[in-house]
Amino acid sequence: MASRDFLKNPKLEERFFRARVYMVAFLVICSIFVLGVRLFHLQIVSNEHYATLSQENRVRVVPLAPTRGLIFDRNLKLLADNKSSYQIEITPVQVDDLQQIVKQLAEYIELEEHHLKKFFEDVKRKQSFEAIPLKLNLNEIEVAKFSVNRHRFPGVEITARANRFYPFSGLNTHALGYVGRINADEAQKLDKQMYSGTTHVGKVGVEKFYENLLHGEVGYQHIEINAQGRKLRVLEKVPPTPGADIVLSIDARLQKIAQESLGERNGSVVAMDPVTGEILVFVSTPTFDPNLFVNGISSKQYSLLRDDGDRPLFNRALRGQYPPGSTIKPMMALAGLHYGATWAGETMYAGPYYILPGHKRKYRDWKKGGHGKVDMYKAIIQSCDVYFYTLATELGIDKISEFLSQFNLGSRTELDTWGEAKGLMPSVQWKKAVYGQPWYPGETVITGIGQGYMLATPLQLAVATSAIAMRGQGVRPRFLRATRRQAQAEEPASATAMPTVNVESDLYWDQVISAMVDVAHKPNGTAFRIGKDAKYKIAGKTGTAQVFGLAEDEEYEEENVAEKLRDHGLFIAFAPADDPRIAIAVIVENGGSGSKSAAPVARVVMDHFLLSKEELTATYGPKNKAQKNKDSNSLANSSANISINNAVN
Amino acid sequence: MASSYSIRDSLVNSPIREERNLFNIDPTLFISLVLLCTIGLAVLYSATSGEMAAITRQSIRFALGFAVLIFLAQIPAKELARWSPWLYLLGIALLLVVMMIGYSGKGAQRWIDLGVVRFQPSELLKIFLPMMVAWYFSEKPMPPTIPQIFIALIIIAIPAGLVLTQPDLGTALLIAFAGICVIFLAGITWRLLAVFGGIALASMPVFWFYLHDYQRQRILTMLNPESDPLGTGYHIIQSKIAIGSGGVYGKGWLNGTQSQLDFIPERSTDFIFAVFSEEFGFLGVVLLLCAYGFIVMRGLTIAARAKNTYSRLLAGSLSLSFFAYFLVNIGMVSGLLPVVGVPLPLISYGGTSAVTLLAAFGILMSIHSHRKFLSY
């Protein structure tokens, strides 16, 4: 057909066409070469880079949370357990519409607002392939209801997890603290890797302080996943190392005794072994059930606790700062002896009040008629205020402050827990710094009987009492008795000495301690009611802390004062006096006199620590514990020897 | 141009076996194609994670494709030339039918459902259009005049435009490319080529304006895939990871983690090259490129040896179309070109493409074995 065309030149056209084909062929080869170079670059030059990316793509490292260490009391009673409970978890990547799924789940599982809030907060924080708990601690009905409808919820699963459980409920809360869900703030601060699988962290108390010991080390699971994030198989597994178990020095049995002795009253009991520093009792009433906080407390429950007038959330033993009142008198006496302001047998006349030379103001004694002729012994035994007003004035605030500071008043005891309050040991410098005012002599007077600015926590008082019991060789208080790692021997914790209290002569210790023994064992002692029938020697001191000031001429009438404004009763003691094994500080808020309210509590606790079972039965009878509690109260009421420290400022 | 001499040597001056082949089949090309299809099935087996149903279906398509190939090889190019305008018109008509009643798949109307099979008429145009343009030029003296080129461009623009409205940018470009190849091979002067090239460049912004959002996105994604790693960039990032992690020897057949764990989207169709390169490594890639290169060279050889305008232009254009297929596909999968829906010839899963490709090779074989009878 083409041959019919006159204008066609076949030879020329063929040459022309071939030239084009050659050119095209050349371009084709060049292009293939370019592709080759590109692929060379991807597969050879950048191979390592892409191999890494590919590995990251397919392998997910899934953390395996370690089991939290258990917490025992000194007799190896379990205080903090891990109880397996069911929780419902959602893996966001496997769910199309989270809101929708959660809404549907609410038909089977009771969901409160705080569950949802926490869940969506976690969704934002965690990666989409991680299973995020929606609600912990499901009950059996919820588990059953969900299980029946499980097929309707892909990406939603119920898993069993070990959850913290405190079998003694509120008994040890203020010592143990509790764990709770990790919040966004904590997530920032915690080691991201170590806590990658962990849901709970110690929030307060020992649980927080020993978090590192208790937590353990995270394990890993390398799992192969596909592009949808579904787990295909486990490639490698590094099991987690469980946290160490810890043995605390507290005694759950004594805790219970102490708590029951305090009864409905607000207060605190701190008892420790003055030799080792081990805390035996650490009670603050009222208390609360820490289990409420483990899986997220509802706002309703929380506000109930928060707004309770008795402040159950407040850790009185650790953070309650009270005027120590007359409990500092033995230390004041030591200061007087040490600085040579007096000697034990020196007598003075103590009238019903004290007047600073050149002033008019009367500083009253708690005893209306005054104590008459007193020496240091009698001043401690009867808690004579006038004697100590005089002594304080003679010593001056600088010496008082310096000497009492040696007993750790005004500074933290460094107990192994969180949030300890410092108390307050006033000084001239302190007042200048805080109030910008000079120190007035009248303030020295009332400091002499532990009133005024001075504040101490029950823990501090127990530590100071230990220091007296040990004649100045105090020891740091601690909760930790031992740690136990899996398959390893128990590692006992060791005692740390506190700075020694320096006193000119050891004789002074004997003098002050013998006066403290007489407080409990002499009929005129303020704590005779608890000492008279004791089977061991108690060295103690009562105290009363004023809650509100009285005018100069006013009389404090306990019955006439509203409970909230009634004095706090205090008592410090150690026993046996010649071989101290327990030092105790008790405070009963608004309990009135320390002799009536606090001392009996101390006696019951000391009895249960020091006496054998037979002796206990002989004293308290084979009754139930509630009965025992009543006994100790009647014991308190039967005695007529009342000590009220009626200080006036 | 030292290399062009060697190309010339291989294309023309190599000894030609003049004996007629059985059933007009060029054994070299035929064996290469069978080999490629076999590789294709093996890769597809891996890409579908051993889904036998897909393998069977693809095998049936290949069988159909080879049947068409053998059938077309028997038809002299002269006959094909005669049918060219009618086939072209048929193709246009089918495109119009698709526009009206076509089956929508993945957001675009490309399919005609014949009950038993669905096929894309746009695929037919990949053959019918170069046939038409070649037919148009066949009786005219070469090189073509400017008006002739304009008419050829209109012949190209009609089907390309129709396909573009489906919208299927990839196929439209490939169809247009097949037609333009014919014009180029016909001997358009460099000056004219420069002018058209200039016009094309100048119209790019206008063209950009008419692009669909997703098409624009694809071009932007190619320029910077990491800008949107979970959206449109995901395909490219994952396929690059697959290719790159293959290394020299690859991860082994059926062992590509990217492929087997579902990280490569469209891994049995457009992105099958990523599966291939992950599992067979750079060595496999070089061999595959050589195989493709060999087939294109064989096609160009056939074109160079053809004895009339129609055969030359058509053979050249079909060879170059095949070349464009794998160039664009591999370029796109390896992140050199934007993501346009172009399958990897004879390896990607897909019916119409496999059959039309093999049909094109049937035409090439026909041109090869009937060249003596068509010589002047």
Do the Cβ atoms of A51 and B244 come within 8 Å?
yes
Reply yes or no on whether the pLDDT at A270 is more than 60: yes
Do the Cβ atoms of A54 and B245 come within 8 Å?
yes
Going from the C-alpha of A419 to that of each of A205, A282, A425, B72, B337, the distances in angstroms are 8, 14, 19, 91, 64
> Residue A639: its pLDDT value, please?
35
Q: Which of A326, A383, A597, A632 is catalytic?
A: A326
Confidence grade of residue B51 (pLDDT, cut at 50, 70, 90): confident
Is B17 a member of any domain? Answer: no
The answer to whether A3 contacts chain B (CB < 8 Å) is yes
Do the Cβ atoms of A17 and B246 come within 8 Å?
no
Is B301 a member of any domain? Answer: yes
User: In percent, how much of chain A has pLDDT > 90?
Assistant: 48
Q: Is A302 helix (H, G, I), strand (E, B) or coil?
A: helix
Q: State the Cα–Cα distance between residues A222 and A212, nearest whole angstrom.
A: 25
Do the Cβ atoms of B141 and A225 come within 8 Å?
no
Is B5 a member of any domain? Answer: no
Question: Does A39 share its domain with A65?
Answer: no
Confidence grade of residue B12 (pLDDT, cut at 50, 70, 90): low
Poorest-pLDDT segment among A61-65, A372-376, A414-418, A518-522: A61-65
In this predicted model, what pLDDT tens digit does every residue of A158-169 receive, in sequence order?
888 888 999 998
Nearest-CA distance B7 → chain A (Å): 6
Listed residue (B31, B175, B127) closest to B360, CA to CA:
B127
Among B residues 82-121, those touching chain A with beta carbons less than 8 Å apart = none
Q: State the Cα–Cα distance between residues B138 and B160, nearest whole angstrom.
A: 22
Is A256 a member of any domain? Answer: no
In which domain, by residue range, is B117 found? 24-374
> Residue A635: its pLDDT value, please?
39
Question: Does A336 share its domain with A203?
Answer: no
Q: What's the rounded mean pLDDT across residues B46-53? A: 88
Among the partner-chain residues B248, B261, B296, the one whose CB lies closest to the CB of A44 is B248
Reply yes or no on whether the pLDDT at A634 is more than 60: no
Length of chain B counted residue by residue = 376
> Residue A336: its pLDDT value, please?
94
The answer to whether A37 contacts chain B (CB < 8 Å) is no
Question: Does A36 share its domain with A113?
Answer: no
Among the partner-chain residues B142, B289, B308, the one whose CB lies closest to the CB of A32 is B289
Reply yes or no on whether the pLDDT at A61 is more than 80: no
Do the Cβ atoms of B316 and A24 come within 8 Å?
yes
Count CB neighbours of B9 within 10 A.
10
Is B250 a member of any domain? Answer: yes
Among A residues 206-225, those touching chain B with beta carbons less than 8 Å apart = 224-225
> Residue B373: its pLDDT value, please?
47
Among the partner-chain residues A18, A28, A226, the one whose CB lies closest to the CB of B261 is A226
| Sequence-distant (≥ 6) Cβ neighbours of residue B278 within 8 angstroms | B242, B243, B245, B246, B250, B251, B256, B257, B258, B259, B264
Q: Is A326 a catalytic residue?
A: yes
Is A626 a member of any domain? Answer: no
The answer to whether A57 contacts chain B (CB < 8 Å) is yes
Confidence grade of residue B232 (pLDDT, cut at 50, 70, 90): low
- Tokens encoding A323: 């005027």
Q: What's the rounded mean pLDDT across residues A72-93? A: 88
Among the partner-chain residues B187, B263, B316, the one whose CB lies closest to the CB of A227 is B263
Q: What's the rounded mean pLDDT across residues A254-267? A: 92
Is A636 a member of any domain? Answer: no
Reply yes or no on whether the pLDDT at A476 is more than 80: yes
User: In percent, how much of chain B has pLDDT > 70?
Assistant: 84
Among the partner-chain residues B1, B141, B289, the one whose CB lies closest to the CB of A9 is B141
Question: Does A41 share its domain with A101?
Answer: no
Tell me how many domains chain B contains.
1
Poorest-pLDDT segment among A318-332, A404-418, B104-118, B124-138: B104-118
Question: Does A97 share its domain with A20?
Answer: no
> Residue B2: its pLDDT value, please?
43
Confidence grade of residue B15 (pLDDT, cut at 50, 70, 90): very low
In this predicted model, what pLDDT tens digit does every residue of B203-227 receive, in sequence order?
877 777 777 777 777 667 666 666 6
Q: Long-range contact list for A558-564, CB < 8 A, 24+ apart?
A: A558/A592, A558/A593, A558/A644, A563/A590, A564/A590
Reply yes or no on whether the pLDDT at A55 is more than 90: no
In this predicted model, what pLDDT tens digit does every residue of A395-442 receive, in sequence order?
999 999 999 999 999 999 999 998 899 999 999 999 999 999 999 999
Is B146 a member of any domain? Answer: yes
Q: What's the rounded mean pLDDT across residues B319-332? A: 92
Is A425 a member of any domain? Answer: yes
Q: State the Cα–Cα distance between residues B242 and A334, nearest whole angstrom.
A: 83
Is B209 a member of any domain? Answer: yes
Confidence grade of residue A645 (pLDDT, cut at 50, 70, 90): very low
**What mean pLDDT is reported for chain A?**
86
Peptide bond into A239 cis (omega under 30): no
Which chain A residues contact residue B4 at CB under 8 A? 22-23, 25-26
Reply yes or no on whether the pLDDT at B1 is more than 60: no
Domain of A121, CATH number, reads 3.90.1310
Do the Cβ atoms of B241 and A50 come within 8 Å?
yes
In which domain, by residue range, is A37 found? 2-45
Reply yes or no on whether the pLDDT at B98 is more than 50: yes
> Residue A202: its pLDDT value, please?
92
Q: What's the rounded mean pLDDT across residues A353-363? A: 88
Question: Does A134 share its domain with A14?
Answer: no
Which chain B residues contact residue A9 at CB under 8 A? 141
Reply yes or no on whether the pLDDT at B376 is more than 60: no
> Residue B112: its pLDDT value, please?
67
Q: What's the rounded mean pLDDT across residues B19-48? A: 87
Element (H, E) at A180: strand A178-181
The answer to whether B190 contacts chain A (CB < 8 Å) is no
**Ramachandran category for residue A424: left, alpha or beta (phi over 0 → left; psi -120 to 50 → alpha):** beta
Poorest-pLDDT segment among A64-78, A149-163, A507-521, A627-641: A627-641
Q: State the Cα–Cα distance between residues B24 and B21, nearest whole angstrom.
A: 5
Nearest-CA distance B350 → chain A (Å): 24
Q: State the Cα–Cα distance between residues B309 and B311, nearest whole angstrom.
A: 6
Is B19 a member of any domain? Answer: no
Contacts across the A-B interface (CB distance below 8 Å): 171
Confidence grade of residue A644 (pLDDT, cut at 50, 70, 90): very low
Q: What's the rounded mean pLDDT across residues A372-390? A: 93
Q: Is A43 helix (H, G, I), strand (E, B) or coil?
A: helix
Do the Cβ atoms of A5 and B316 come within 8 Å?
no
Q: What's the rounded mean pLDDT across residues A497-516? A: 91
Listed residue (B39, B90, B28, B9) closest to B326, CA to CA:
B39
Which chain A residues contact residue B143 at CB under 8 A? 16
Of the two residues B38 and B142, the one the predictor is more confident about is: B38
> Residue A191: its pLDDT value, please?
84
User: In percent, how much of chain A has pLDDT > 70?
Assistant: 91
In this predicted model, what pLDDT tens digit does every residue of B273-312 receive, in sequence order?
999 999 999 999 999 999 999 999 999 999 998 888 899 9
Reply yes or no on whether the pLDDT at B241 is more than 50: yes
The answer to whether A551 contacts chain B (CB < 8 Å) is no
The answer to whether A226 contacts chain B (CB < 8 Å) is yes
DSSP3 helix / strand / coil % (chain A, rounded to 5): 40, 20, 40
Best residue in B11, B241, B305 to probe A by mutation, most A CBs within 10 Å? B241
Of the two residues A272 and A62, the one the predictor is more confident about is: A272
> Residue A642: its pLDDT value, please?
32
Tell me how many domains chain A contains.
3
Nearest CA in chain B to A230: B261
The answer to whether A233 contacts chain B (CB < 8 Å) is no
Is B14 a member of any domain? Answer: no
Nearest CA in chain A to B181: A24
Which chain B residues contact residue A46 at CB under 8 A? 244
Reply yes or no on whether the pLDDT at A256 is more than 70: yes
Q: State the Cα–Cα distance between residues A211 and A203, nearest whole angstrom.
A: 9
Among the partner-chain residues A8, A43, A226, the one whose CB lies closest to the CB of B246 is A43
| Sequence-distant (≥ 6) Cβ neighbours of residue A310 within 8 angstroms | A266, A286
Best residue in A1, A12, A14, A21 to probe B by mutation, most B CBs within 10 Å? A21
Is A357 a member of any domain? Answer: yes
Reply yes or no on whether the pLDDT at A87 is more than 80: yes
> Residue A2: its pLDDT value, please?
43
Is A645 a member of any domain? Answer: no
> Residue A215: its pLDDT value, please?
92
Do the Cβ atoms of B247 and A43 come within 8 Å?
yes
Question: Does A36 share its domain with A96?
Answer: no
Domain of A422, CATH number, reads 3.40.710.10
Reply yes or no on whether the pLDDT at B69 is more than 70: yes
> Residue A92: its pLDDT value, please?
81
Question: Does A136 share its domain with A37?
Answer: no
> Residue B237: its pLDDT value, please?
83
